[in-house]
Amino acid sequence: MIPFVDLKAQYLSIKDEIDSAVFKALESTQFVLGSEVVALEEEFAHYCNADYGIAVNTGTSALHLALLAVGIGAGDEVITVPFTFVATTAAICYTGATPVFVDIDPVSYTIDVTQIEAAITERTKAILPVHLYGQAADMEPILDIARRHGLVVIEDAAQAHRAEYKGRRVGSLGDIGCFSFYPGKNLGACGEGGMVVTNNPEYERKMRMLRDWGQEQKYHHLLKGYNYRMDGIQGAILRVKLRHLDQWTEARRTHATQYDKLLTSSEVTTPTVMPYSYHVYHVYAVRSPRRDWLQQILHRQGIQTGIHYPIPVHLQPAYAELGYQSGDFPHAERAAREVLSLPMYAELSLNQLEVVSAVVRENLPCMNWQKVG
């Protein structure tokens, strides 16, 4: 069996450090927020080249608080993409605002910046690009559009820890950046967790209150807030893992390069790294018109894969009230039919990479099919 993600291998590689941090957190009895979370906020914000970090319980909460901090609410519209995890859309809906979708670029899988301005209305308040699969969206034109139209830019960086756009870390490019520490992420907790980063002190103050019942001091509630606080143990664990993130990122990038070479003689289309991007490969997503068949073949060979994502958000029953239909976003819909995520994690061995690639090549040899992009 070659797993899609091997969290046990990661844990065993740093077991002594993790165990020590957990025991220290337990002895401190600071189980909610506390000194470890404060230290993580400072360290992660510095890592992202941002002034402030606000630790929360999930990446979804990070998105929700970011939207609330900039004043998004009922009657507002937020532009984003339908090809993403559902949390991006859900967080917009939590505020009472309406998600407005534009299609993705078929090569990068991130928002097609040429379609953004056509989606802007008098109700548009923000643009929420998603740095999908570990690759940054094309932020320069997004920020230019936002400036000209007086819009806020909130980055969904849940899959892009350490990713860069033109040499700058994602999360600090827009007004606010939102990260997830779900266990399978490039930087993952041993449970749930998230982080918001910003350079704006007013946003920082508001989000810090909102995540803790709207209180600035105990039992003094200035805002109607939420219980979005991070656990102290998760803060301690993430501080340990953050020290290894650069090394793990380089391992992922090396694996991606090896996959690229090993799959050149196959039918599948391998990921394209955009010229502005430092890709961190949260997933290594190939694509093929015969995706489902290939996934079955790999499964029978003991190779786990994933599909990120099989149904675009605009076609999910939960969001039918938004009024979109099949065919509205053809690039997102085609990607949903064709993408397949191969095993990708820092601890993958060269032999495992070769086994996965050999199965793909043997079953989908290159037959001069026209590749996407």
Catalytic residues: 185
- In three-state secondary structure terms, 191 is coil
C-alpha to C-alpha distance for 228 and 234, rounded to whole angstroms: 13
**Residues 314, 320: contact at Cβ < 8 Å?**
no
Please list, in sequence order, all residues whose beta carbon lies within 8 angstroms of the beta carbon of residue 284, skipping any fewer than 6 positions away.
Answer: 255, 256, 259, 271, 341, 342, 343, 344
- In three-state secondary structure terms, 198 is strand
Type of residue found at 50 = A
**Residues 139, 173: contact at Cβ < 8 Å?**
yes
What is the helix (H) or strand (E) element at residue 348, kind and residue range? none
Paired strand residues for 307: none
Please list, in sequence order, all residues whose beta carbon lies within 8 angstroms of the beta carbon of residue 209, skipping any fewer than 6 positions away.
Answer: 215, 216, 222, 223, 225
C-alpha to C-alpha distance for 102 and 117, rounded to whole angstroms: 10
DSSP 8-state code for residue 229: P
> How far is Cα of residue 267 from the mean position of the Cα atoms in its chain?
27
Cβ neighbours of 350 (radius 10 Å):
11
> How far is Cα of residue 235 from the mean position of the Cα atoms in its chain?
19
